[in-house]
Amino acid sequence: MRICFIGLGHLNSAILAGLLAGGYDRENITATTQSQTSASQRSTEFGIEVLSTQAQLAANAQAVADADIVVLGVKPPHIVETARSIADALPKHATVVSVAAGITLANLTAALPEKQPVIRTMPNVALTVGKGVVAMARGATVTADQMENVDKVFAGSGTVIHVEEDQLNAVTAIAGSGPGYVFRFANALAQAGTALGLESATAQELARLTLVGAGTMLETPGADPTALEDSIATPGGVTEAALQSLDAAGFDQLVVDAVKANVARSEELGA
Ligand SMILES: NC(=O)c1ccc[n+]([C@@H]2O[C@H](COP(=O)([O-])OP(=O)(O)OC[C@H]3O[C@@H](n4cnc5c(N)ncnc54)[C@H](OP(=O)(O)O)[C@@H]3O)[C@@H](O)[C@H]2O)c1
């Protein structure tokens, strides 16, 4: 199966790194970037052929010509024009996968030949460390086999979840933006430590490693956050006192409100 990455920035590089770590044959991967400098750097880094649109205007069309899967990883404002630019060169069966935030299946299918299989994904940034979550919504003409093949492309960088397109804004609000909420919490915890008299660097290290450790506990199959919370919150103890303070401040409702604000913003942006 030949895979073509259009754009090889943060996100597509992370997906590619996951594929290569799983032993995927480099001969079956092609990529493009805009600048020649990037193309040379990425080619050396990953040991694959990388064309640049700066050096060859038709680089994208050339790169997709024998592809089975094309992963569009350019910035959202350029996705539709990039899809249009490869439309005539795409093999009929090639599945076009978009990782762009906010670009709908309708936007994509309108830019591509009729019946071209299209998948819209919502990946999160943790893909860059091989622990991402990727939600996928498939277009009307995508077969089960094509879906399975695209699942495999992401298997090395994250966990794939299939959803309907109308659920993608909710997915974005939880998993797409989720790392941002966790980073904010890490910062707040560190600041609380500093306020208690710890050295700033020590407080940051404590907060960071605590989140990593707790995250690893949550990674255990079947892990239940409520049961884990109960296991350390002894009645009358110090953890319980802190959790009661969070409850009194309406912590859970604050999270619900934040997630709703995220969805409202997605809707304003027309996603
Ligand atoms: N980063 C994330 O955490 C994240 C999370 C979820 C979704 N996404 C989505 O992923 C997509 C890419 O984001 P990113 O952060 O990876 O962006 P990025 O690092 O800026 O990478 C964009 C890549 O596209 C290349 N490019 C630009 N125009 C091109 C063209 N006409 N033809 C071929 N390649 C072209 C750039 O080339 P140069 O290297 O020459 O500049 C670069 O390699 C976006 O649509 C974004 O919504 C990103």
* Structural domains in the chain plus CATH codes: 3-163 (3.40.50.720), 176-268 (1.10.3730.10)
Max Cα distance, the chain (Å): 69
How close is the Cα of 180 to the center of ligand 1, in Å?
A: 19
Which residues, 6 or more positions from 51, have their beta carbon under 8 angstroms from its beta carbon? 30, 31, 32, 33, 39, 59, 60, 62, 63
* Residue carrying the six token digits 């960088």: 157
| Residue 231 in contact with ligand 1 by CB distance below 6 A | no
Determine the residue of 4, 34, 37 to mutate for testing ligand 1's pocket, defined as the one with the most ligand atoms within 8 A of the Cβ atom: 34
Q: Which atom of ligand 1 is nearest to the CA of 81?
A: 31
Q: How would you classify the pairing of strands 29-33 and 3-6? A: parallel
* CA neighbor of 158 nearest in space, from 70, 101, 219, 208: 219
Q: What is the pLDDT of residue 102?
A: 82
Q: How far apart are CA 131 and CA 124, in angstroms?
A: 9
**Number of Cβ atoms within 10 Å of the Cβ of 203:** 19
* Cα(6) to centroid(ligand 1), Å: 9
Per-residue confidence (pLDDT) for residue 101, from 0 to 100: 83
Ligand 1 pocket, residue 173 CB under 6 Å: no
Q: Are 132 and 157 in contact (CB under 8 A)?
A: yes
12 Cα nearest atom in ligand 1: 16
- Ligand 1 centroid distance, CA of 115 (Å): 26
For 125, other C-beta atoms within 10 Å of its C-beta total 16
Q: Is 34 in the pocket of ligand 1 (CB under 6 A)?
A: yes
Let me know: does 89 contact 62? Beta carbons within 8 Å.
yes
Phi, psi of 67 (to 5 degrees): -85, 150
Report how far ligand 1's centroid is from the alpha carbon of 12 (Å): 7
| Pocket lining: 132 vs ligand 1, CB cutoff 6 Å | no
Pocket test for ligand 1, best of 4, 10, 37 (most atoms within 8 A of CB): 10
Cβ count near 261 (within 10 Å):
11
Gap from CA of 125 to ligand 1 centroid (Å): 13
Cβ neighbours of residue 99 under 8 Å, at least 6 residues apart? 11, 12, 15, 71, 72, 73, 121, 123
Burial class (CB in 10 A: 0-12, 13-18, 19+), 244: exposed
Distance 252 CA to ligand 1 centre (A): 34
pTM exceeds 0.95 for this model? no
CA distance 271 to 263: 10
Atom of ligand 1 nearest to the CA of 82: 31
Indicate whether residue 9 lines ligand 1 (CB < 6 A). Answer: yes
Residues comprising the chain, all counted: 271
State which residues of the chain have pLDDT below 70.
Answer: 271
